[in-house]
Chains A and B, each alone.
Chain A
């Protein structure tokens, strides 16, 4: 049933209209269409799988409860992005308040390296075969300020333009540009060794 509905709901305004009527199939289509993207954004910001799953669930429940307030001045996806980012940033605040948790610098050896990668490592998939590298990559991303990470994630996951990211986060376009530049610069610096390896291999 929902597959049939999905075919007829290519048009976003039709989907929104059915969502406002509270049609269950329309919600099923919405969840299937956006859950991966919402999870990707949530995970990119929180870096916590279970928490991201909870956030994905909360995003769709919020959509269900507040769809009557959606006035279609922006795209549905922009609205979903905004809800997701807000929930993620609030989650971080709650987490910090509750556990007095702060970004901790990673434990590194004296040379500043986390991983002695083998010569057989290929870039990037083969590099990812090493479980340690996955952890290192996410840890490096975690070192970025969360608002910077939100900009980076929206760019990488959704491929949004600077203007769209600015609208979603309620910041200026220049801020988006500088945060994105800063995020890449920090990641390049912290992953320099692996980037070099990748190129050499």
Chain B
């Protein structure tokens, strides 16, 4: 920063007082102040304000009963020693836990929403190795990812009168269809 020593700049005096000037600026300002009564006064005033504040604060500090603070703080700490469950809570509140966890959850949601929506392929309702009975009909469904064979067959409805020999007359017993679904 270029500085004209002939110009009295109070802001520069302020920064000079606070030692916030670079070495070159400081040297220039220092030289300028030697010959400038106005800047000398500004500097003296800044020093005086600082001294007044320091003296005022010392007086106030001598009146303040700071030892009470120490007693109160330590008493509080003693009363509320952090229990282990709160320390555990701090772990979960910590960013190192919830930031990666949130990222993983967000990633999973995105993946399943757009890239690989879960297919609801129902498994076979039964796997059969052998079958006795009347097969009503067979349906074979093929999709790119699954192969399903669906069998409908008929079996007598158990009416509870089997002991009475009614089973001989199966034609009079109503039947219902049962679906078996095979998947390969």
Contact = CB atoms under 8 A, between A and B. Distances in A.
Given A177-B15, A195-B45, A124 B57 contact: no
A27 B59 contact: no
Contact of B45 (A39, A68, A155, A188): A188
Interface string A134-153: 10011001000000000010
A49 B64 contact: yes
B48 A57 contact: no
Contacts of B78: 24
Contacts of B70: 28, 31-32, 35
B52 A191 contact: yes
Contact of A49 (B15, B46, B49, B63): B63
B60 A28 contact: no
Interface stretch (A10-18, A74-82, A156-164): A156-164
A184 B77 contact: no
Contacts of A161: 18, 20
A56 B54 contact: no
Contacts of B81: 22
A131 B134 CA distance: 114
Contacts of B55: 124-125, 128
B53 A27 contact: no
A108 interface: no
Contacts of A124: 48, 51-52, 55
A162 B21 CA distance: 11
Given A36-B66, A138-B56, A199 B50 contact: no
Contacts of A43: 57, 60, 64
Contact of A180 (B18, B44, B52, B54): B18
A185 interface: yes
B90 interface: yes
Interface of A: 22, 24, 27-28, 31-32, 35-36, 39-40, 43-44, 49, 52-53, 56-57, 60-61, 64, 68, 123-125, 127-128, 134, 137-138, 141, 152, 155-157, 161-162, 177-178, 180-181, 184-185, 187-188, 191, 195, 198-199
Contact of A184 (B46, B57, B61): B46
Nearest to B90: A68
A36 B73 contact: no
Nearest to A181: B14
A123 B45 CA distance: 12
Interface in B34-80: 44-46, 48-57, 59-61, 63-66, 68-70, 72-74, 76-78
B20 A162 contact: yes
Contact of B72 (A57, A137, A155): A57
B82 interface: yes
Contacts of A68: 90, 94
Given A36-B61, A49-B64, A199-B48, 13 more contacts: A24-B74, A24-B77, A27-B74, A35-B66, A53-B69, A56-B66, A57-B72, A57-B73, A61-B73, A137-B56, A162-B18, A181-B14, A184-B14
Contacts of A162: 18, 20
Contacts of B120: none
Contacts of B69: 31, 35, 39, 53, 56-57, 60
A27 B77 contact: yes
Contacts of A152: 53
B146 interface: no
B164 interface: no
A43 B58 CA distance: 11
Contact of B18 (A61, A125, A155, A188): A155
B10 interface: yes
